[in-house]
Structure 1
Amino acid sequence: MNTTDPRLKDLFAERSQRVHVVGDVAERAIARDRANRRREITTAVAAGGLALAVAVPVGWNVMRPDGVRPAPAVSTSEGPTSTQPVPSPSPSQNTTTGEPTNRPTSIPTITLSGAPAAATLDPSDDPSDPGGETAVAYVIDGELHDGQSRIALPEALARPNQVARLADRLVLLVTNDGVTVVDSSGAVLTDLPGGRAVALSSDRAHFILTGDSGDLTYHDARGRQVARLSAETCKCGTDGGAPGGYQGAVGLVGTTAYATKGSTGKTVAWDVETGATKELPGLYRLIDQDRAVAIVQIGGEAGDTPCYDLRDLTTGTRRWRVCGPVLMQSFSLDGQYVVGTGAVDGLRSSVTYPTVLVWRTTDGELLLESGDPFGPGPWSVSARAATGQDIAVQVGHADGTRSLQRCTLEGSCEVIAPARPRWQSDIPEGDDPYVLSLN
């Protein structure tokens, strides 16, 4: 248990006085939170825009703040966009991240302070009438649904933590034990034990992987290792006495792989052909390969409010910055939008934004949200995926089931897959029945 777990446990104990629970919610919710944090760290995948499923615990409802959501207030500071590459650290910069100690005035900066988005999701409350399709592939009942295509998965891999599509109808599955590649018949081609975080090329022909070893490895679609960057090259220090290494595979742009460097708040750019590496300031979270842009997180590791820059990978130009208690988690398939979620503001029992948020890539404007995270109603949104103009959303219903719905950026939704029971439904937040593809 890490140093924050006792605080979480105390907080759950305090808030759980108000709700009926089964078993030791504190211990199980902490375990669930650990898994969610591990998944959030490891799901920055570049595929020319991605589909991302990230469960946001309904259990956070036991931490409902006593106050109400702040009144709408968004402050925006705009100026001419910088056209210069990100400079090297100087006396006025943070020597750890290489970023300015103050928010930039040369790029548009949006400070999120609780203002609702222009549109709010309005999911269907009748999960029994599915219809339509989604560009997002998903796993349900041990089967990958990809449009009209179906691929049966091995029984031992029927409930993966993450799933992604590879070239030639191959499938990549991430479980607690590692990463596995299966073919269209469901036969296992390659097992990569200990793999945790993956990022794919937009043509699905290659992926990069980080895991227990701390190495960063480059693989073809069948899972065969093509190149390796040793953890010893990371120079990431130590974490709990264990050697540091590359922690999160973020994305691929051509032959350049991006991965976070342990807990240093920095990112490595690795040319998989030449072996050359370059250290970059900031924590790269998401990469859109086709447009060569990245979402870079600045701060937020020590409980302070994070900021997110949209950065051009070719020139280093920062196009905008958004600051607030949120997590940016995936690009849409067409790269036009960024999907994220509200974040718990430290451990102060404060959730400013809800579980689904959508920003426009061109200017960082918040377009869509799932509404008051503590509002009344028979449903609550618990997962999301960006798919071009639409988003695929898992919606929780009053009976504890969750359906898969397709929603427009204006907020209207339709059911595309019926309601199913949650996994581990005795845990208040449960597990989503649908596992949405990373790409």
Structure 2
Amino acid sequence: MIKSILIANRGEVAVRIVRACKDLGIRTVVAYSSADARTQAVRMADDTVCIGPAPSQESYLNSKNLIVAACLKRCDAVHPGVGFLSENAAFAKAVEEAGLVFIGPKSETIALLGNKVEARKVALKAGLPITPGSKEAITDLEDAKQTAGQIGYPIILKAASGGGGRGMRIVRKESDLAGALALARKEALLFFADDSVHMERYLEQPRHLEIQLLSDGKGTVLHLGERDCSVQKNHQKLLEESPSPILSPSLREAMCADSVRLFKELGYRGAGTVEFLVEQDSYYFMEVNARLQVEHPVSELVSGLDLVQEQIRIAQGKRLGYTQEDIRFHGYALECRINGLSAGTLTKFVMPGGPHVRFDTYLEEGAVLSPYYDSLIAKIIVHAPNRDQGLAIMLRALSEVCIEGVKTNLEEQKQLIKSRPFTSGRFGTDLYAKVCEQEKK
């Protein structure tokens, strides 16, 4: 029985986990860096522990400090949140070896899925469609040229052990391949300590969709529908919605069934998502996110489930207490990420309210948006009976936001939601470039 959890993360997700634990009557210990001493999660937790100075390598990525903190504070379990060490197999294994519960998939599952080449092999074995690509990591430039010739340009190079747009390069002709390969490898080594990359055919304007799943590791796997995450800037998500406006019932059913089958094949335990690229009536497996995702509130609002609480229950060894038929989807949900474009002190910070609006943040007026970490200030999530009403509620919510002291992407988000391609539901991953970047020109 888990009675006390160390939250090995920061920001809005740390606040989110604290709230879920309090609802379950579980004691919370927030691990924080010196830069985060005055954030909401630290104030809300039952106990806290400083795990190092501001730089991530010395705090949130310092697995030894985190495990020692969990033991000193007599915690039963560690929740890794999102990012940082949440998909680090070595950290998950070290947590387990310390006699603690890791609230996430088994370490061997994380290790398997953390390598995109191996993940594609597992997906192919489970019968999922994948984009044409290299069967193994690219070994050298000659291998890259030969593989690209077989696949056909344009191609995309991806870090085998990473994500989030890091170690990723699009190549449209062979003369650009050598430089792109060198840069992709350099960035992969910098961010993931592994310079191996693999190659796939690049789809020009696909939709980016993901299926949210819960699996108890005892044979029951449930899906919570899809999230459309196609609106991105530099491969970083900006808007997420459910249901997707472009999926037919038959395509949705096929993608969900494939995702459930894959998780059963893996013997997966916990919450996770299967990501796909969709082009017209075809879809292709991209990767598995073996963790909670930033956009999880979208699925919570349409399904009525608390994903963090479900993660904790599964980690305790409990079975999912319902079947797929018990899951009922209600209405439409949209999440908008408010990002800072500069670091600084929030001299004014007013978030929206009113019916059908939820916002997740870790900041308040007078707080500092740190230059050391990601730029997310807040997530605004709305729920409505249908998409048109959802967009109207989101625009109302965005109009209520007032942030001073730092530059934000607030106006860009309004532009995107008001744009004709977005309101029509017919757009690709180039929407930001078409709407916001062309506006600047």
Higher strand share: 1
TM-score grouping bracket, smaller chain normalisation: under 0.3
Higher helix share: 2
